[in-house]
């Protein structure tokens, strides 16, 4: 079989693969939200039906909120964790902020805020929400507990938020779980996992970030050096990683963009259904980099010192390179637009696997 015949046969297989992927994606669109939530939200976090009712009631704000009576309760707890203890934070409605502190103790400022028709109503709601703090040697848990039935006493609206402001030792092993609220963690070097359903997740200066996920918010990780794998996921928000070093990176979004900037990793997997994917950073020898989007653009900026083999495919978009003399084999569509690209650059030691159905693929020199 001649080289041209092999390339033609290979192109047919790739196009059949693209058609199959497109068909599966279209057939699964009605099921995407449920499936994506199950993948993004850790199995150990069980969002009970009553908790959903609480979060839903919290989010239904009346337009005259500014005219309602507000009651606030502040509490500060000191937790003796040690330099590498474990801290678990759980919340239903409200933001969580964690920063690095000094010494072996963690401090947690808990602010409950209730809004009601009048002062008595706000006070009643305030007392219905409790924050439980449990402490054992080297470990502590802080959990917000809302009433099991928010409709008791004929109550239709329930408006209480709980905010945590935490300082913890740098080596703290931290788990944060929230339903409706933002999560922000800065300079915590221990094991770190952060999840929220409706809110953003921002992590900066993390040492051992395992996972960061949201269903309807942006997930952002900056200035992190991770010994093992890092997983960042969102359903309807963007996923952004900047100046991150990890052995393996997995970034996923259904309808948001994925932006990976100044990345150092042996293996990167980035997948989005309708968002764009961008990557800038070096390529490790024998590293593997997979980028997939159904309707988004894939854009890579690669240093000239990196060597790689590339397999790039787009059904209705364009595949092109800029300022990189790649030894190519590929096919051109109408008007000279290339749909597929197979080739190598430099020593060809890394692997680039790039696929999109209706977007373009652009590989540029950084």
Average confidence (pLDDT) over 95-102: 96
Sequence-ordered strand ranges (E) for 125-181:
130-136, 139-145, 160-169, 173-180
pLDDT value of position 9: 46
pLDDT at 13 > cutoff 80: no
Q: Express each pLDDT in 257-294 by its tens digit.
A: 999 999 999 999 999 999 999 999 999 999 999 999 99
Model confidence at 349, pLDDT cuts 50, 70, 90, reads: very high
pLDDT value of position 75: 96
pLDDT value of position 87: 97
Q: Express each pLDDT in 111-147 by its tens digit.
A: 999 999 899 999 999 999 999 999 999 999 999 999 8
Give percent of the chain with pLDDT exceeding 90. 68
Q: Express each pLDDT in 29-38 by its tens digit.
A: 333 334 333 4
Give percent of the chain with pLDDT exceeding 70. 77
Residues in the chain: 366
Give every CB contact of residue 269 below 8 A, 6+ residues apart in sequence: 248, 249, 250, 251, 290
Rounded Cα–Cα distance for residues 303 and 279 (Å): 11
DSSP string covering 105-129: EEEEEEEEEEEESSHHHHHHHHHH-
């Amino acid at each position: 079989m001649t080289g041209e015949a092999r390339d033609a046969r290979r192109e047919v297989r790739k196009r059949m693969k693209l058609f199959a992927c497109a068909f599966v994606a279209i057939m699964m669109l009605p099921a995407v939200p449920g499936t994506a939530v199950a993948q993004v939200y850790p199995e150990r976090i069980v969002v009970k039906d009553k908790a959903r009712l609480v979060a839903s009631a919290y989010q239904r704000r009346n337009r005259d909120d500014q005219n309602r009576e507000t009651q606030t309760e502040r509490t500060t707890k000191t937790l003796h964790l040690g330099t590498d203890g474990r801290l678990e934070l759980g919340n239903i409605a409200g933001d969580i902020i964690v920063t690095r502190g000094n010494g072996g103790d963690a401090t947690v400022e808990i602010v409950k805020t209730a809004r009601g028709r009048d002062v008595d109503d706000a006070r009643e709601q305030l007392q219905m929400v409790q924050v439980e703090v449990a402490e054992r040697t080297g470990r502590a848990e802080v959990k917000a507990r809302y009433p099991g039935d928010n409709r008791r006493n004929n109550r239709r609206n329930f408006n209480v938020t709980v905010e945590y402001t935490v300082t913890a030792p740098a080596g703290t092993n931290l788990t944060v779980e929230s339903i409706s609220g933002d999560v922000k963690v800065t300079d915590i070097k221990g094991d770190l996992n952060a999840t929220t359903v409706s809110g953003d997740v921002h992590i900066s200066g993390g040492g051992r970030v395992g996972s960061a996920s949201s269903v309807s918010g942006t997930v952002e990780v900056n200035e992190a050096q991770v010994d093992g794998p890092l997983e960042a996921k969102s359903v309807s928000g963007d996923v952004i990683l900047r100046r991150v070093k990890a052995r393996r990176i997995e970034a996923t979004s259904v309808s948001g963009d994925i932006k990976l900037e100044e990345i150092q990793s042996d293996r990167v997997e980035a997948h989005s259904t309708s968002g764009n994917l961008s990557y800038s950073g070096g390529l490790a020898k024998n590293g593997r980099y997979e980028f997939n989007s159904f309707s988004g653009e894939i854009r890579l900026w690669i240093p000239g010192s990196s060597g790689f083999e590339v397999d790039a495919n787009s059904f209705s978009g364009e595949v092109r390179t800029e300022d990189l003399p790649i030894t190519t084999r590929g096919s051109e569509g109408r008007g000279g637009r290339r749909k597929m690209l197979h080739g190598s650059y430099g020593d060809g030691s890394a692997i680039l696997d790039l696929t999109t159905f209706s977007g373009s693929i652009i590989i540029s020199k950084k």
